[in-house]
Chains A and B, each alone.
Chain A
Amino acid sequence: MKDISSAIQLIPLENYVFLSVALFSIGMMGVLFRRNTIAILMCLELMFNSVNLLLTAFSAYHSDPAGQVFVFFIMIVAAAEVAVGLSIIVMMKRNVDSVDINLLNRLKW
């Protein structure tokens, strides 16, 4: 098992951090970019997963399982959120027959 550990050490932590940051930014950009609510939801998932990756990487470097447990919880919550989010979208679709986020502008001023 030693080689695995050394293998992990081969890749610097920064790489994971950068990767996560990039993923997070892309996700965030997607949220801003997309108009389709379902796609926005997917981008949100991207953001969550970048966090997961980051936590796992830190966890591995710290040799601390807590980080990975946290990832587990994030997954749980993400699943629940997606369920709720999708059901809201379904409901919206039923009411206005669209998943366009720009339609959400009746509540204002």
Chain B
Amino acid sequence: MVALISSIAWLVPAFPLLGFLITGLAKNRLKNNQAGIIASTLVSFSFITALFLFFSLRSSGQDSVTVTLFNWISAGDLNIPFAFLIDHLSITMMLIVTGVGALIHIYSIGYMHDDERVSSFFAQMNLFTFSMLLLVMGANYLILFIGWEGVGFCSYLLIGFWFKNPAFNYAARKAFVMNRIGDLGFILGIILVFFTFKSVSFTEIFSQAGALQAGAPMITLITILLLVGAVGKSAQIPLYTWLPDAMAGPTPVSALIHAATMVTAGIYMIARSSILYNLAPITLNIMIGLGLATAIFAAVIGLRQNDIKKVLAYSTVSQLGYMFLALGLGAYSSAVFHLTTHAFFKALLFLGAGSIIHAMGGEQDIRKMGGLRKKMPITYLTFLAATLAISGIPPFSGFFSKDLILTKAFENNPLLYILALGGALITCFYMFRLLYLVFFGSQRLSSAHPHESPRVMTIPLIILSVLSVFGGFLNIPELFGGKSDLGEFLHSAITSKVTEELSSSTEIGLIISSLALLGLIILMAYRTYVKRAVLPAADSESLSLFGKVVANKFYIDEVYTLLLEKPFGFLSDFFFNTIEKAVLDPAVDGIGTATSRLGNLVRKLQAGNMSFYLFAMVGGILLFIIFILIV
């Protein structure tokens, strides 16, 4: 079995790579749907292979298999094989990536139908899938890093897919650069890992890590640096602003990259490094703070967003914050679980949004939608399922995963629980606000003729909604008679922190109270947006101070522009115009011109005047005589 796994594991990333090459190189020859079909098929193949691997791994009885393809870098004691690690964590991620990826690919066939560069789109999507698979399958940090940067690059490409629009291009660049800021931390972390453990391979590092003392400064430093990378990639404070802007890309891109897969890479990476993080309590605390702050902060911003995709984007940031919270609490498998369910329902939300946008002829402003429930029943139903899931209504998947995190937070500190719950309630509110505004009431934009999307788009929606609804059953906690299957499954790859278990009664109490609050919130939203049909303020209307601040996303983008971009430009100008042009260049040229001027002076001495020559000669002789007489 192990031999079989080793021999076919490479196929998983190879399929999308092949798809990328085919659709990329032959992009001008492929007719309308061909590229999409090829790409989707290959990703599906990849999914099937991954499934096969999953079952093989289960039946082999091994926890992990390392598949080495070739030696990538081997310089002295730095030995980095190009190898894949097939273990329970990576197989889970592979399944998510290929599974959700395949659905989104299929969906895209319909969504991107009219675009003239559809082949390029699928090529880039396939490249992304390939990179993402490298990321999750890599057996060491460096291979992970390849995928890490690769997905960043594909994200750059896809955000700026419609490159006519400078704003989109700007958003793409912003995403890439912010990711790179994180990547610098990540790569430094990797390097320190190497110097500490003399290896970057997961298995070797983790086997050595046990010998280390918890809280050692080196480990703290390493984990913080890795965290910087994760913060960049997973859009946490302070590097989150790229994600809402990244909605410039086509909606399937948002679904795949900026909801389901890429942005969760940071969570994956930290979960992967769980052993190291367990040794660094300081870092864990930082993560709790960051995660919680992001979760609430982004949720608050989400309250006042009117662009359907922006709402979802902030919701993604917020959910990622929950995952970070979970990570910080040491509940790595809970984070992965939330990651999984989030992948389902957030992909579904985005695809649903895509369907809506598609139907509305490109309109994204929720103030102009409304009443779509009748016109787009499938979309409505699936969207509803996803909304319920994200809000944490049982028995939808989000309930299980979020509840797990909340419980863990309570175990750690009740205050954390309250804050986290508050965030969840806000999430619930803006999600229902979105739902009500879009699907209820009357249609507000007369020019649009909404219609249900074609089947190629709705079928993935349906599949995903099924997953969103039942995804939670992957990991039913013991409280509900489950066995925490996923948690157990991941146990071999992730070492979660052992914490004191809550009593079931406390847990049930917490769940009931939170459910009550959720119900209240949904009601509130219903009253506001359906009953009273309140419309969010138009851009021109004046708002209360707080409302304005929130609507403008706390002016964080502006602050960044003011504090980073502008000074950078100034610095660049200063360096060039002042230091280069006014100091260094003149300094060098000055030597030249000064010499030249002096030369002209000396030249003028030679005035052709005989008396002067004679005097000069006598003068020289006199000076020399005096010199030798004195010396």
Q: Are A105 and B614 in contact (CB under 8 A)?
A: no
Q: Write the B594-631 contact mask toward A (1 if CB under 8 angstroms, else 0).
A: 00000000011011111100110010000000000000
**Shortest distance from the beta carbon of A43 to any chain B beta carbon, whole Å:** 11
Given contacts A28-B618, A32-B618, A109-B603, contact A102 B608 (CB under 8 A): no
Q: Are B607 and A108 in contact (CB under 8 A)?
A: yes
Query: Is A62 in contact with chain B by the CB < 8 A criterion?
Result: no
List the B side residues contacting A106 at CB < 8 Å.
608
Q: Write the B186-213 contact mask toward A (1 if CB under 8 angstroms, else 0).
A: 0000000000000000000000000000
- Inter-chain CA distance A33–B129, complex, in Å, is 98
Query: Is A107 in contact with chain B by the CB < 8 A criterion?
Result: yes
Which B residue's beta carbon lies closest to that of A103?
A: B610
List the A side residues contacting B608 at CB < 8 Å.
104-109
**Among candidates B607, B610, B615, residue contacting A101 with C-beta atoms closer than 8 Å:** B610
- Inter-chain CA distance A31–B610, complex, in Å, is 10
Which B residue's beta carbon lies closest to that of A37?
A: B610
List the B side residues contacting A102 at CB < 8 Å.
609-611
List the B side residues contacting A109 at CB < 8 Å.
603-604, 606-608
**Among candidates A32, A104, A107, residue contacting B615 with C-beta atoms closer than 8 Å:** A32
The total of interchain contacts (Cβ-Cβ below 8 angstroms) comes to: 28
**Shortest distance from the beta carbon of B549 to any chain A beta carbon, whole Å:** 74
- Inter-chain CA distance A29–B606, complex, in Å, is 22
**Shortest distance from the beta carbon of A23 to any chain B beta carbon, whole Å:** 16
Q: Are A108 and B610 in contact (CB under 8 A)?
A: no
- Inter-chain CA distance A28–B615, complex, in Å, is 10
- Inter-chain CA distance A101–B613, complex, in Å, is 12
Q: Are B604 and A101 in contact (CB under 8 A)?
A: no
- Inter-chain CA distance A107–B613, complex, in Å, is 12
- Inter-chain CA distance A102–B604, complex, in Å, is 17
**Shortest distance from the beta carbon of A92 to any chain B beta carbon, whole Å:** 12
List the B side residues contacting A32 at CB < 8 Å.
611, 614-615, 618
List the A side residues contacting B610 at CB < 8 Å.
101-102, 104-105
Chain A to chain B contacts (Cβ below 8 Å), 8 pairs: A101-B611, A102-B610, A104-B608, A105-B607, A105-B609, A108-B606, A108-B607, A109-B603
Instruction: Give B contacts to A, CB under 8 Å.
Output: 603-604, 606-611, 614-615, 618
Q: Which 9 A-B pairs have the closest CB atoms?
A: A108-B608, A105-B608, A101-B610, A108-B607, A104-B610, A107-B608, A105-B609, A109-B603, A32-B614
